[in-house]
Structure 1
Amino acid sequence: MLFTVLSGLITSGLFIPFGKYFRTKWGAVIAILPILLFCYLLQFIPVISTGITLYESYEWVPSLHINFDLRLDGLSLLFSLLITGIGSLIFIYASSYLKGHSYLDRFYGYLCLFMASMLGIVLSDNIILLFVFWELTSISSFFLIGFNNDHADSRKSAITALSVTGLGGFFLLAGLILMGSIAGTYSIGQLIESASIIKNHELYPIVLGLVFIGAFTKSAQFPFHFWLPDAMKAPTPVSAYLHSATMVKAGIFLLARFTPILGGTSAWSYTLMIVGGFTMIYAALHSLFRTDLKAVLAYSTISALGILTFLIGIGTQEALIAAITFTVVHALYKATLFLTTGIIDHETETRDLSKLSGLRKVLFPVFIAGTLAALSSAGMPLLFGFISKDLIYEATLHSEQHLALYLTIAAVLTNVCLVAAGFMAGIKPFLGNLPQQYEKVHLPDQSMWIPPLILALLGLAFGLFPAVAGYFIVSPAVTSMSAETVNAHLQVWHGFNTVLLLSLVTLALGSILFLYNKPDSRKLTLLVPLNKVSPQNITKKLFKKFVNFSAWYTNIMHNGFLRSYLLKIIIFAEALLAYELFIGGSIYIDYTQLSPISIYEAVNVLILIAAVGLTVTTSSRLTAVVGTSAIGYAICLMFVYYSAPDLAMTQFTIDTLTVVLFVFVLFNLPSFINQANNKIIIRDSIVAITFGTLLSIIAIKVLQVPTDITISEFYGQFAYTLAKGKNVVNVILVDFRGLDTMFEIVVLSIAALGVYSLIRLKLKSSEKD
């Protein structure tokens, strides 16, 4: 399993030096990787279908309980097969769709990174490891969505997706750490065993809310859904992969994985049913107003994700079976519809439904694939979507008695709209007369139309033989979400009952709605009044306010003047010190414990004060330099008085060198500018005197604290025996604190190089301007 995850990461890195070899027709060769991974995972189906879970563990950061722990159970196997199986077809499809693109190698690199990240999420058995891959999917999807980086819309969409999912990731990390702290482990297997502890903890509602935000942002649940339609600016292979089987399903996978840990409570169930229910209805209705094929698919995808969240919220065994089945159904038909949309756009250069018709005459295999996918989406008998639709209605009808009617009505309303949306995307472009401008349209390369046809035929195959999918795929996945073994008996025919009636009514009403809902861009104007309260518009307003606040904060706190930075740092330090002295501690000083002040100490202090006064009041830079040197030498005398000759010599050397350097550069500095007025002088004086007073109080109080010489004795005892040095101070700096000293030297070296570069810099007259 480790190689399964790392192979994509390694391959992605190899595109940096060898990517140029994959910009030609050999680009399709890279599809071998997901194909091999898919075949490797297929061999585990017989083992996993018996209820066995496979584990692998590798030490990573054991001190923090973070290991590279992997698990392969029914749920992770299902998603792994979707990721690699559909991924294989996407790689093949992209080799023709993006043929000749100058950045094709980058695309494959991003796609490999994304595939590996998704595999890492679904195979992780450590929640911190899961989060690492969770963030990698956000980063890699950012590059994929913004692949056409020369278009402003693509860049904006990529940033929006990264911002929303990244924000959700922040909250998710907080929830995962909190959950791990409560249970005392980050292992998913051990968290499942500690589920009762987590659910009964007082912080459970907070954990639940944080995890929900992470899942909802990733899986585009209302009100975080708006990033997904914007992400349709990405190339069609990206849309087909990210928004059918992978990225948007990561949030669904998270909810499914955490069902045995956090599920089963009212807060879990009602939150998911409300959010998922509203999302599925809201998005399904919106899909009917769109005329862009990708927009229709985007909103129907959001609706489908809402259905999955809704079913996980219901939480019964029937609902979980329906959720897993619908996950597979949706991945198959939605990937197909995206790929057929890409072909239509590629050949006709438009996705406008009001302009497309009659394409079956020139794109017949694509028409077959689109029709099968649309019929599966609608729940036509003998297709896998029919099984899924029945299971959804069974789950709602057999839910809590007081909710069954309302949940069923919501499901029917959503599915009626999705039937119409599926027909709009999969059938509408192929019906009617062929416009004259499309008569020369022809089938693209086989590598483009065969992948969607394969996916559509898989939907038909699973519809004819649902027991195979039920036993080998659905049952193991639901078992991993439940506390008991589940046998999902999927059948083509369930007899004449309420469920069948609802399915037929849904199909009939959806077909009627499709016939009467003519694509017209003018319908979008009906939604304009609602834009003011739309989540997207509210988010934009909040973003603008945040930008304005950031600008105000930057102008106040980061105005580019060093004196301003020093002033704020000192004021903040004063506030902390004052709080500790006056609130957290005591300012009382026992002056009887202090030694008397000698005459030479008093004279030295007077000289120091006079030098400070001269430095801050003179208008001559040279005089200021002399004043600062006098301050330094006065401090040297202080060290001598208090028996610290080594510090005095160090201070003397540094001070002398500093004065010399100042004098050398004095003539190259700009004219002395004194912009201070009386108010600024008074302000700075108060700040300086306050800071000096606080430090004086602290220094005096330190003298009255009993000295602990344990550390001093340690250094004195072991300086020679361990470090072979007789000078204790040198040994501390070079050996015991050698790492600190090394970084200090590095910082000084970098600063020196910077200063030297500026001194040696010679600009042309044009560059100076």
Structure 2
Amino acid sequence: MADDYPKVDRVMGGAAGWISIAFPSILFLYFLGLLPQIALGPQVHGIDWVPSLGINLSVLLDGLSMTFVLLITGIGAAVTLYSARYLGQHPDYPRFVSYLLMFMVGMLGLVLADNLIMLFVFWEITTIASYLLIGFNADSAKSRRSALQALLVTGTGGLILLGGMIVLGNVAGTFQLSEILTQGDMLRAHPWYLAILLLFLAGTFTKSAQVPFHFWLPNAMAAPTPVSAYLHSATMVKAGIFLMARMNPALGGTDAWFWILTLFGGVTAVFASVMAMRQTDIKQVLAYTTLMALGTLTMFLGAGTHYAIMAAMLFLVVHSLYKAALFLMIGIVDHATGTREAGVLGGLSKAMPLTGLAAALAAISMAGIPPMVGFIGKEFMYKAGLGLEGFGAFWVTIMAFAASVMMFAVGGIVALKPFRGDLRPTPTEPHEGPWPMLAGPLVLGALSLIFGLVPGVLGYYLVGPATHAVFGEVREVHLYLWGGVNMALILSLLTFLAGWLVYRRHEAIRTRLAAFEARNPVDFDAGWDRLLEGFKAFAAWQTRLIQNGSLQRYMAVTFGTFVVLVGGTYLIKGAFRSGLSLTTEGIHPVQWAVLGLIAAGAMLTVWTHSRMTAVAAMGVTGIGVALIFIMFSAPDVAITQLLVEVLVVVLVSVVMLRLPYLPRRSKATFRAGHAMIAGGMGLVTTFLMISVLATDFDRRLTTFFEAASYPEAYGRNIVNVILVDFRALDTFGEVTVVAIAAIAAFALLRGMSTRRKPEEES
């Protein structure tokens, strides 16, 4: 309940409450004023953000984005008004407002974005904001678990989606959505089309909770009721639906698109409808009906015909209106009675008549009964399903029918049963909710009635332009309440009859579903816990294997990984290039001597058993490299190399004198594994260098630094100028890292109290 917290004396949440109400209200009025312009055609506005990568801060205002913007801001205003009264005296209410507005801004940016990368940024903002909102009651273990689950599922999907966006941007040659949407024929014929489609659908299915990624959404009910109302009706879960609708002109229209979306959407719709009947907490009932709506929307977007797209856009608005109203109504009931259990509630219309009215309006629309707009939405879904061909027509129609029957029954469970009959005893004496909490449900319920009576307004300003944007071309959209006696009307009448029978038997059905669920071994939520436990066990095993405290093991893993990945890629891609003439002709005896010195130092490093000797031998190898630099006219690099080698030998020697004695772990004089890794490193590095030297030298950077070093940085030594001026921040960061490492090493050695043993001298 909202009252289970220490209260702070605030009126409507104080300043935070009024700001939260004003922000979406002003935006709603602003965009409402743009509605006549957008109904005539889309608009694109933007500025450069990262021009070198083709990323712009641009917005695309068309029928689809405008529909979502008005839902986000309009329902957002109702939710924030409700929240100011519902949570206004919560001590952390200002924090709640900041999360909610962050969520709202993320959704607005997502639906308005005309750039894929910009869209992804806002996509992830909604992920993070939803995590904070679901876990708002941080003292609750359930809230923390649900928030983390939502974050991991949708965040993983978001990363997969990013891969799809990058591939799509490269295939299309642009990241601008308004340009990509005109390249549908090219994209559908491209060899990478299926990969792009699957990557995008992975992101949208996790966000919009399609089976088998559905389990996080009912658990998100751990969030405060206003969050649930907002998340389920107009924001978070509709983000995936928006992206599928947005990408329809570019990726839709193929068999893969049709079957993936209709199959997953249909299964999700029916599965969620059945699971809604299983619940006793009416908030959980509504959570599963949201899954039903998301599955239905996905199914009709997959069907892809003009009628199917029009049905999806109409149902998008229908669902948003009744779902927000019902969630807010449940919050009032919970606030006024102290319970949400369907078996406890009854007769509330006597004590809460306005709440009962709001519930009735919303539930009648959800059930699809005329004259509510929900009836029109159901009629057009049936017409769209019947208009398909072959098995697709049967599948879409039967899935829509089954889901609609269940929704009729759920409407009775949620809004009829708690309010009819005699008043039952509840933990708190029932009373009518305050006006800020009643305003939203009543207005949203009234809009469901108004749009049902005058559907032409909704069709002209919202559903029509949205359908044009999603379908990819302008077609006539005509909404009507009465379309005569036809097959769609017959299916509607059958829906009412079947739905009423299910409602009458819902308690028996719930009991049987509970018994089946108890025997069913498939539990997605428990499976998620097992998956996380598996990841933790794998991480622990990996840590024991690699991060075991042995520097030798760390180096072996690092260099071994380099050899396998780089060398393997080298072989698979056939990347070796050799345009060099490998001959000993012209090599001076002095150069041979230096090469011999380097080889001798390397061999001594490998074979010696003394740490000090190995360090000195490595220094010999480094000095030999410095001599080569001198021979080939690079004295500055040679001096740097020489100084580094001397410092390394001196510092490592001093440090080793302070290290504790470690007995030799192995008596073996030759380690085959280490030899293979070292040899592989040498071969891979050598082949890489040969290939690089055989590649045509690109002088663009060289020419730039030659021309700019003195006039811009006032330095004649180009290398120094690059390090100190052109890469100043990089160099500063590197120096900082080295300095911190040196300080940490000094502190570690200073704090060690060790006794040297004679064996250390060896």
1:181-223 deviations in Å (ceiling 9; x for gaps): 2222222222222111112222222222222222221111112
1-structure distance, mates of 2:372, 2:435: 25
Letter in structure 1 aligned against 2:619:
G
Paired position in structure 1 for 2:308: 319
Distance change in 2, residues 1:393/1:683 (3 Å): same
Tell me by how many angstroms 1:750 deviates.
Answer: 2.7
User: For 2:23, which of 24, 33, 49 is the aligned residue?
Assistant: 33
2-structure distance, mates of 1:401, 1:599: 80
Distance change in 2, residues 1:446/1:636 (3 Å): same
1:226-241 equivalence runs, <5 A: 226-241=215-230
2-structure distance, mates of 1:321, 1:52: 17
SS in 1 for 2:114: coil
Paired position in structure 1 for 2:435: 446
Identity level (%): 39
User: For 2:551, which of 562, 571, 574 is the aligned residue?
Assistant: 562
1-structure distance, mates of 2:582, 2:566: 16
Letter in structure 1 aligned against 2:345:
L
User: For 2:737, which of 747, 753, 757 is the aligned residue?
Assistant: 747
User: For 2:68, which of 56, 74, 79 is the aligned residue?
Assistant: 79
Letter in structure 2 aligned against 1:199:
R
Q: Is the 8 A contact 2:31 2:66 kept in 1?
A: yes
User: Bigger CA drift: 276-285 or 171-180?
Assistant: 171-180
User: Bigger CA drift: 441-450 or 568-577?
Assistant: 568-577
Q: Indicate yes or no: 2:202 matched with 1:218.
A: no
Tell me by how many angstroms 1:757 deviates.
Answer: 5.5
Q: Is the 8 A contact 1:476 1:486 kept in 2?
A: no
User: For 1:197, which of 186, 195, 200 is the aligned residue?
Assistant: 186
Q: Indicate yes or no: 2:404 matched with 1:412.
A: no
Q: Indicate yes or no: 2:279 matched with 1:300.
A: no
User: For 1:474, which of 448, 463, 483 is the aligned residue?
Assistant: 463
1-structure distance, mates of 2:177, 2:41: 16
1:563-593 deviations in Å (ceiling 9; x for gaps): 2211222334455787769984789964455
- Which TM-score applies when normalising by structure 1? 0.86
2-structure distance, mates of 1:599, 1:125: 63
Distance change in 2, residues 1:165/1:673 (3 Å): same
User: Bigger CA drift: 433-442 or 652-661?
Assistant: 652-661
User: Bigger CA drift: 646-655 or 287-296?
Assistant: 646-655
Q: Is the 8 A contact 2:268 2:291 kept in 1?
A: yes
User: Bigger CA drift: 444-453 or 593-602?
Assistant: 593-602
Tell me by how many angstroms 1:633 deviates.
Answer: 6.1
Q: Is the 8 A contact 1:276 1:309 kept in 2?
A: yes
Paired position in structure 2 for 1:133: 122
Distance change in 2, residues 1:528/1:760 (3 Å): same
Q: Is the 8 A contact 1:384 1:466 kept in 2?
A: yes
Tell me by how many angstroms 1:675 deviates.
Answer: 4.4
Paired position in structure 1 for 2:479: 490
Paired position in structure 2 for 1:5: none
1:72-123 deviations in Å (ceiling 9; x for gaps): 1111111110000000011111112223222211211111111111111211
Tell me by how many angstroms 1:36 deviates.
Answer: 0.3
Q: Indicate yes or no: 2:312 matched with 1:289.
A: no
Letter in structure 1 aligned against 2:308:
A
Instruction: List runs of 5+ in structure 1 lacking aligned partners.
Output: 1-18, 619-623, 764-769
Q: Is the 8 A contact 2:337 2:428 kept in 1?
A: no
Distance change in 2, residues 1:180/1:721 (3 Å): closer
Letter in structure 2 aligned against 1:212:
L
1:342-393 deviations in Å (ceiling 9; x for gaps): 1222233322212222222222211111111111111121211111121112
Distance change in 2, residues 1:137/1:600 (3 Å): closer
1:51-130 equivalence runs, <5 A: 51-130=40-119
Paired position in structure 2 for 1:550: 539
Paired position in structure 2 for 1:526: 515
Letter in structure 2 aligned against 1:386:
F
Tell me by how many angstroms 1:556 deviates.
Answer: 2.0
2-structure distance, mates of 1:154, 1:282: 25
Paired position in structure 2 for 1:617: 609
User: For 1:632, which of 606, 615, 619 is the aligned residue?
Assistant: 619
2-structure distance, mates of 1:53, 1:308: 23
Letter in structure 2 aligned against 1:61:
V
Q: Indicate yes or no: 2:175 matched with 1:186.
A: yes
1:674-685 equivalence runs, <5 A: 674-679=663-668, 682-683=671-672
1-structure distance, mates of 2:14, 2:291: 35
Number of residues of Structure 1 aligned to a counterpart in Structure 2? 737
2-structure distance, mates of 1:518, 1:497: 34
Paired position in structure 1 for 2:3: none
1:311-710 equivalence runs, <5 A: 311-400=300-389, 403-438=392-427, 440-518=429-507, 522-528=511-517, 531-574=520-563, 584=576, 590-592=583-585, 594-596=587-589, 608=601, 612=605, 617-618=609-610, 624-625=611-612, 628-629=615-616, 632=619, 635-636=622-623, 639=626, 643=631, 650=640, 653-654=643-644, 657=647, 661=651, 669=658, 671-679=660-668, 682-683=671-672, 686=675, 690=679, 694=683
Q: Is the 8 A contact 2:251 2:257 kept in 1?
A: yes
User: Bigger CA drift: 349-358 or 478-487?
Assistant: 478-487
Distance change in 2, residues 1:681/1:27 (3 Å): same
2-structure distance, mates of 1:318, 1:23: 44
Distance change in 2, residues 1:566/1:680 (3 Å): farther
User: Bigger CA drift: 389-398 or 587-596?
Assistant: 587-596
Instruction: List runs of 5+ in structure 2 lacking aligned partners.
Output: 1-7, 754-762
Q: Is the 8 A contact 1:22 1:104 kept in 2?
A: no
User: Bigger CA drift: 348-357 or 599-608?
Assistant: 599-608
Letter in structure 1 aligned against 2:16:
G
Q: Is the 8 A contact 1:632 1:651 kept in 2?
A: no
Letter in structure 2 aligned against 1:414:
A
1:611-652 deviations in Å (ceiling 9; x for gaps): 7479x524xxxxx45763575367547745865776666566
Distance change in 2, residues 1:681/1:102 (3 Å): farther
Letter in structure 2 aligned against 1:431:
R
SS in 1 for 2:24: helix
1:27-78 deviations in Å (ceiling 9; x for gaps): 32021010000000110122222x2212211111122221112121111111
2-structure distance, mates of 1:48, 1:469: 14
2-structure distance, mates of 1:331, 1:706: 60
- Which TM-score applies when normalising by structure 2? 0.86
Q: Is the 8 A contact 1:145 1:158 kept in 2?
A: yes
1:150-165 equivalence runs, <5 A: 150-165=139-154
Letter in structure 2 aligned against 1:336:
A
Distance change in 2, residues 1:531/1:550 (3 Å): farther
2-structure distance, mates of 1:495, 1:254: 35
Tell me by how many angstroms 1:664 deviates.
Answer: 6.3
Distance change in 2, residues 1:761/1:542 (3 Å): same
SS in 2 for 1:569: helix
SS in 2 for 1:44: helix
Distance change in 2, residues 1:708/1:230 (3 Å): closer
1-structure distance, mates of 2:314, 2:696: 71
Distance change in 2, residues 1:196/1:628 (3 Å): closer
2-structure distance, mates of 1:75, 1:246: 14
SS in 1 for 2:174: coil
RMSD in angstroms over aligned alpha carbons? 3.8
Letter in structure 2 aligned against 1:58:
I
Letter in structure 1 aligned against 2:163:
A
User: For 2:35, which of 33, 45, 59 is the aligned residue?
Assistant: 45
